Structure 1
Amino acid sequence: DFTLNLTQAFCVPTDNCDLHFKVSRDRYSGYPLTIEGFAYLWAGARASYGVKSGRVCFEMKINEEISVKHLPSSEPDPHVVRVGWSLDSCSTQLGEEAFSYGCGGTGKKSSSCKFEDYGEKFGENDVIGCFVDFESSEEVEMSFSKNGKWLGVAFSVAKEQLAGRALFPHVLVKNCAIEFNFGQKDEAYFPPLEQYTFIQNVKLEERNRGTVGPTCKSDCEILMMVGLPASGKTTWAMKHAKENPEKKYNILGTNAIMEKMKVMGLRRQRNYAGRWDILIQQATQCLNRLIQIAARKKRNYILDQTNVYGSAQRRKMRPFEGFQRKAIVICPTDEDLKERTLKQTSEEGKDVPDHAVLEMKANFVLPEVGDFLDEVIFIELEHEEADKLVKQYNEEGRKAGPPPDKRYDNRQGGFRGRGGYQRFDNRSGSRGSYQNRGGGGGFRGGKKKKKKKSIYAYLFLSFM
């Protein structure tokens, strides 16, 4: 069994990384999932402790560029690592927000999603040294080295801006296996800069512990969003997570997946040359798999999907037995919903087909406290008013009749249409092992000829 004292060890804890980042047993190395759509995703991890004084450093080695032959040849930078420092309150997307500082293998540095040329490109077998100096001046300076060669100061941050907050070692990878040396190794890969000490050697009382996750399932929360497309679920989820940083909520939804598919800080919609419907399908497969992984991890989650079907509510909450299971119902007035739908379509390009929304309305069921839910919280309209509106939606949807095309059911057989109103159920077809150490073998599909699926079917799936 793993015996390292995690209350004192400088390591990568399993609760301060993305769900698709696999931390090794020694807690000093890890790799991301790379099967299917995961190969498009960045995966981040942050160390257990941070520092706010002294001159300290650590090393990061890229052990392997994992084979991802299933990616299209047009994919830019399929193997890349970004390493550096961030506050404990920052997201895992290193370099894409304030107080998050990354040095990337593309020869760029980034903070607040601003990318600038810096240093040199790096890849498999390269070792990057990461240095932070709190002592030299009124500014905190961060610099990097490649295989022992110093690359110069990358970031200078006023101490008053940091306001006494600690900086934590942080890595963000795409299809690469990495390893840290915080100073636990007998010998460094390369000697550190003069006057710098490895961060593992900083006294325990001079370190800052990162937020510690729940220790048992009964302390974990799963908040299941319930509401029609564009009702405001994602807005509420992000606001709630930001207002409760100590909870370290993991938001599970296709919006969150797409955020991890960025290229040079830009959403993939801005610079993607491949088929968008296939990418949506892969993002949804990733989400289904992440929900399976999440149920086995002691963390706090927000499930950001529509979840309007009673059967979907039960199916998704059952794996989280032992958690505090709560439903958050977002039910605005019909006028507000129409206004938000127009706004979302114009700003984000999301346009869920009318027949898909009508089907959801026809089958909308308000959740109730019971065997799979401990609490139901209503946002905007209260229970009684929401119940009246949902009954109107049920009637509106049923009167509309069956959709104009066959429904895609995500079960064996693809599109299903038997003359009736076939409900879209989003049963996950992605089961089995979720780990992959490389090779193209993790990619499923290719041998069986699959039916062509409309982008609307996948957009519909992404909202379920």
Structure 2
Amino acid sequence: CFCLILYNHKHFDLMHTNKYNCDLHFKVSRDRCSGFPLTTEGFAYLWSGARATYGVNKGRVCYELKVMEYIPVKHLPGSEPDPHVVRVGWSLDSCSTQLGEEAFSYGYGGTGKKSTCCKFEDYREKFGESDVIGCYVDFDSHEQVEMAFSKNGKWLDVAFRVSKEELAGRALYPHVLVKNCSVEFNFGQRAEPFFPLQDGYTLIGAANIENRVRGTVGPSNKSDCEILMMVGLPACGKTTWATKHAEMNPEKKYNILGTNAIMEKMKVMGLRRQRNYSGRWDILIQRATQCLNQMIQIASRKRRNYILDQTNVYGSAQRRKMRPFEGFQRKAIVVCPTDEDFKERTFKQTHEEGKDVPDHAVLEMKANFVLPKVGDFLDEVTFVELQREEANELIKRYNEEGRKAGPPPEKRFDYGLHRRESSFQRYDNHRGSRGGPGGSYRGGELNLLGCQLIQKSVISVFRGKLLLSAFVRL
């Protein structure tokens, strides 16, 4: 987790962000006062956020943030907008780490814009490497709570005003969101601030502990943590259920692990990538999948609560993905609507949301769909629509439908493409990162085991569909 050491004038008070309140891909430096995001491969597209453990709901307090370094990301395409940027400000403990993109989340970005509720407006000057931003909040001077900023000691005036009635006594917490930048915080641990502070304000680390509000405390043992594994076909309603469940249980701070969640962290000015992305979409999807696989590995080592939002219909995938979470409360959530509802949801996803899953991929998942059972890697299985008996009968029909539609096993090649998760195509990577006996697609390379000669291979993308043409002589 992201940790900060804060001192006051008489003694030091160890303070750190809640284990639920920073992104998995944010790394903390040893001094616990600075940090940086992962930037390898697809992580360079992602925002990474962290929030302090304590917030305030009274007084006039502040903190400083210094943009230390732009981390090199030469692997990003030249068309990538704002590859290095920081957003800093305040938010409620209950907000997501995407600062400035929801209510009660207030950020000032290096682009010179301020944002809340995902509304971006011109504010003041741009800022970047080596700049120091002062973040001020005033609960005492007016009927409204005011948030203002400074740049390198220069006062930039009030950016946000929110009524005390709306806040209802809730505390605002220091919050930072970064993309490919390392940052250093001053909450009071430095002998002197980076720049002189505005009169009447106190660094949050120097404020009395009685005037701070502790954020949500995370579990101390793995046995108190949950991993909920969603199970179901694409478009069946898994993401909808996961999102609602997380919202209904805010105290658990669920981390949703899925490519939909990854793509949310790839937004540009609050917009999802498919609306403003000029590069090759299939490559971006591959990068998102790589990020997700690595995040799952990181997640298994941290005491948090998770929802694994993938299809997970293959029995081998269910076992493999739950194994690293031994010691957690491992539960499967099966979303199996009636066939009529499933077809209706698929139509809506394709025609209204622009998400499209190739028919051959769905048929293969139907052919291999296995309902999970309580056993050595699952403590509990919950059916949220059709219950086990009805779901079992429908899955048997799907198994038969998929097997009849698919090619004979001896002619089927596993190209490793359609079993990877994406924001459009949430498939099981059920044979791991190396694919299976067929082969795998990694970094643009197509490897087919047992093939002596590949005469021609063409990959093209048209309207979100991946068309693969390969002529292979065995």
Q: Is the 8 A contact 1:277 1:454 kept in 2?
A: no
Q: Which of the numbers 307, 325, 339 marks the counterpart of 2:312?
A: 307
Q: Which of the numbers 70, 73, 76 marks the counterpart of 1:71?
A: 76
Q: Which of the numbers 359, 383, 399 marks the counterpart of 1:378?
A: 383
Q: For residues 389 and 211 of structure 2, what CA distance do their matches in structure 1 show?
A: 54
Quote the residue 1:409 is aligned against.
416
Q: Which of the numbers 156, 162, 171 marks the counterpart of 2:167?
A: 162
> What is the TM-score with the length of structure 2 in the denominator?
0.87
Q: For residues 293 and 333 of structure 2, what CA distance do their matches in structure 1 show?
A: 20
Q: Per the alignment, do residues 180 and 12 of structure 1 end up closer, same or farther by CA in structure 2, a change over 3 Å counting? A: farther
Written as runs of structure 1 = structure 2, the 5 A alignment for 1:155-234 is 155-234=160-239
How many Å apart are 1:408 and its aligned residue?
1.6
Q: For residues 40 and 3 of structure 1, what CA distance do their matches in structure 2 show?
A: 25
Q: Is the 8 A contact 2:19 2:303 kept in 1?
A: no
Q: For residues 452 and 168 of structure 1, what CA distance do their matches in structure 2 show?
A: 51
- Deviation string, structure 1 residues 318-351 (Cα, Å, up to 9, x no partner): 0000000000000000000000001111222111
Q: For residues 362 and 375 of structure 2, what CA distance do their matches in structure 1 show?
A: 27
Structure 2, unpaired ranges of 5+: 421-427, 436-441, 448-456, 467-474
Please tell me the root mean square deviation across aligned C-alpha atoms, in Å.
2.5
Q: Is the 8 A contact 1:63 1:179 kept in 2?
A: yes
Written as runs of structure 1 = structure 2, the 5 A alignment for 1:423-442 is 425-429=430-434
Q: 2:298 aligned with 1:293, yes or no?
A: yes
How many Å apart are 1:205 and its aligned residue?
1.6
Q: Per the alignment, do residues 34 and 158 of structure 1 end up closer, same or farther by CA in structure 2, a change over 3 Å counting? A: same
Q: Which of the numbers 79, 87, 103 marks the counterpart of 1:82?
A: 87
Q: For residues 376 and 142 of structure 1, what CA distance do their matches in structure 2 show?
A: 46
Q: Which of the numbers 255, 261, 265 marks the counterpart of 1:250?
A: 255
Quote the residue 1:418 is aligned against.
none
How many Å apart are 1:405 and its aligned residue?
8.1
Q: For residues 155 and 308 of structure 1, what CA distance do their matches in structure 2 show?
A: 47
Q: 2:235 aligned with 1:240, yes or no?
A: no
Q: For residues 338 and 14 of structure 1, what CA distance do their matches in structure 2 show?
A: 40
Q: Is the 8 A contact 1:12 1:28 kept in 2?
A: no
Q: 2:22 aligned with 1:17, yes or no?
A: yes
Q: Which of the numbers 261, 268, 280 marks the counterpart of 2:266?
A: 261
Q: Is the 8 A contact 1:51 1:206 kept in 2?
A: yes
Q: Is the 8 A contact 2:231 2:332 kept in 1?
A: yes
Q: Is the 8 A contact 1:409 1:425 kept in 2?
A: no
Q: For residues 387 and 412 of structure 2, what CA distance do their matches in structure 1 show?
A: 35
Q: Secondary structure of 1:121's partner?
A: coil
Q: Is the 8 A contact 2:65 2:184 kept in 1?
A: yes
Quote the residue 1:43 is aligned against.
48
> Which range moves more in the overlay, 21-30 or 366-375?
21-30
Q: For residues 335 and 465 of structure 2, what CA distance do their matches in structure 1 show?
A: 20
Partner amino acid for 2:81? P
Q: Secondary structure of 2:381's partner?
A: strand
- Deviation string, structure 1 residues 348-382 (Cα, Å, up to 9, x no partner): 21110111100000000000000000000000111
Q: 2:98 aligned with 1:93, yes or no?
A: yes
Quote the residue 1:123 is aligned against.
128
Q: 2:26 aligned with 1:34, yes or no?
A: no
Written as runs of structure 1 = structure 2, the 5 A alignment for 1:329-340 is 329-340=334-345
Q: Is the 8 A contact 1:410 1:427 kept in 2?
A: no
Quote the residue 2:64 is aligned against.
59
How many Å apart are 1:409 and its aligned residue?
2.2
How many Å apart are 1:425 and its aligned residue?
3.0
Among all aligned residue pairs of Structure 1 and Structure 2, give the percentage whose two residues are the same amino acid. Answer: 74
Q: Is the 8 A contact 2:18 2:217 kept in 1?
A: no
Q: Per the alignment, do residues 14 and 185 of structure 1 end up closer, same or farther by CA in structure 2, a change over 3 Å counting? A: farther
Q: For residues 190 and 8 of structure 1, what CA distance do their matches in structure 2 show?
A: 23
Quote the residue 1:392 is aligned against.
397
Q: For residues 63 and 282 of structure 2, what CA distance do their matches in structure 1 show?
A: 42
Greater relative contact order (Cα < 8 A, sep 6+): 1
Q: Secondary structure of 2:15's partner?
A: coil
List structure 1 runs of 4+ shifted beyond 6 angstroms: 2-7, 448-451
Q: Per the alignment, do residues 375 and 394 of structure 1 end up closer, same or farther by CA in structure 2, a change over 3 Å counting? A: same
Q: Is the 8 A contact 1:407 1:424 kept in 2?
A: no
Q: 2:147 aligned with 1:142, yes or no?
A: yes
